[in-house]
Chain A
Amino acid sequence: KAGVTQTPRYLIKTRGQQVTLSCSPISGHRSVSWYQQTPGQGLQFLFEYFSETQRNKGNFPGRFSGRQFSNSRSEMNVSTLELGDSALYLCASSSGLAGQETQYFGPGTRLLVL
């Protein structure tokens, strides 16, 4: 089975711009979660989508949004980029049926905001 894929792998943007990141889950998985990883704040949960619906949300400003398509692929969007948005963005997929299920992580998209 192919793993979780994320595109692009690296991205450089300037302050004020917006960015869209993409995540393709493992085939058959219906849940996609997004995490932000920074040296200062560590790994923080952004949101989770299950069957095209946001099921859970972390404590991030409204500039961070996401969506999920009918084929379970997910995108996250960050508008009005700030320097502090520089981070590794990880997505993870699972079947989504229970909280104890393993989440499989992609390699991440490294975003640098200048």
Chain B
Amino acid sequence: AQSVTQLGSHVSVSEGALVLLRCNYSSSVPPYLFWYVQYPNQGLQLLLKYTSAATLVKGINGFEAEFKKSETSFHLTKPSAHMSDAAEYFCAVTFSGGYNKLIFGAGTRLAVHP
């Protein structure tokens, strides 16, 4: 069965600091992995996705993530946090044959302080 674990329900960083949000997955078949962001009172917006083309994936707003099969991880990073990055971030997994059933992690709320 597929599952996603996001370590740390709350992460706080200073503006300009590195952002690191952790995601580990469990899947018995090759996964497709996604990071979504949710701002208050809004839906989910795709940041980036891994679909086996390249292990280092670049997304919008300066975010990137690296797929590491040996560690079953797909951590999200951004070199320099901006105040506008404050939001909730969700890691999700699906797989070929799973059609569009996304399995989400519990989410990490990112706070950015001056």
List the interface of chain A (C-beta within 8 A of B).
4, 31, 33, 35, 42-45, 48, 50, 55-56, 58, 90, 92, 94, 96, 98-108
CB–CB B42/A99 < 8 A: no
CB distance from A65 to the nearest CB of B (A): 17
Residues of A close to B51: CB separation below 8 A:
100
Contact of A43 among B45, B46, B97, B104 (CB under 8 A): B104
Q: Which secondary structure dominates chain A's binding surface? A: strand
CB-nearest residue of chain A relative to B43?
A: A105
- In addition to A99-B101, A102-B46, A103-B100, 14 A-B residue pairs with Cβ atoms within 8 Å of each other are A33-B102, A35-B104, A43-B107, A48-B101, A55-B99, A55-B100, A58-B101, A92-B100, A96-B99, A99-B32, A99-B98, A103-B46, A105-B44, A108-B43
Q: Which residues of B contact A48 (CB under 8 A)?
A: 99-101
Knowing A90-B43, A90-B44, A102-B49 are in contact, say whether A45-B101 is a contact too (CB < 8 A). yes
CB-based contact A4/B102 at 8 Å: no
* Chain B 22-62: CB-based contact to A (< 8 A → 1; otherwise 0): 00000000001010100001111110010100000000000
* Interface contact A43-B90, CB-CB below 8 Å: yes
Question: Which of A31, A44, A99, A105 meets B94, CB within 8 Å?
Answer: A99
Asked if B63 CB lies within 8 Å of chain A CBs, one says no
Q: A43-B90, A90-B44, A107-B43 are in contact. Are A100 and B104 (CB under 8 A)?
A: no
Q: How far is the CA of A25 from the CA of B32 in the complex (A)?
A: 22
- Check if B102 sits within 8 Å of A45, measured CB to CB: yes
Report A-chain residues with C-beta under 8 Å of the C-beta of B99: 31, 48, 50, 55-56, 96, 99
Complex CA distance for A44 and B102, rounded to whole angstroms: 8
Residues of chain B contacted by A94 (CB below 8 angstroms): 100
Are B32 and A45 touching (Cβ within 8 A)? no
Q: Complex formed: what's the CA distance from A91 to B49 in Å?
A: 19
Task: Report which of B34, B103, B105 forms a contact with A45, defined as CB distance below 8 A.
Answer: B103
Say whether B84 faces chain A, with CB atoms less than 8 Å apart: no
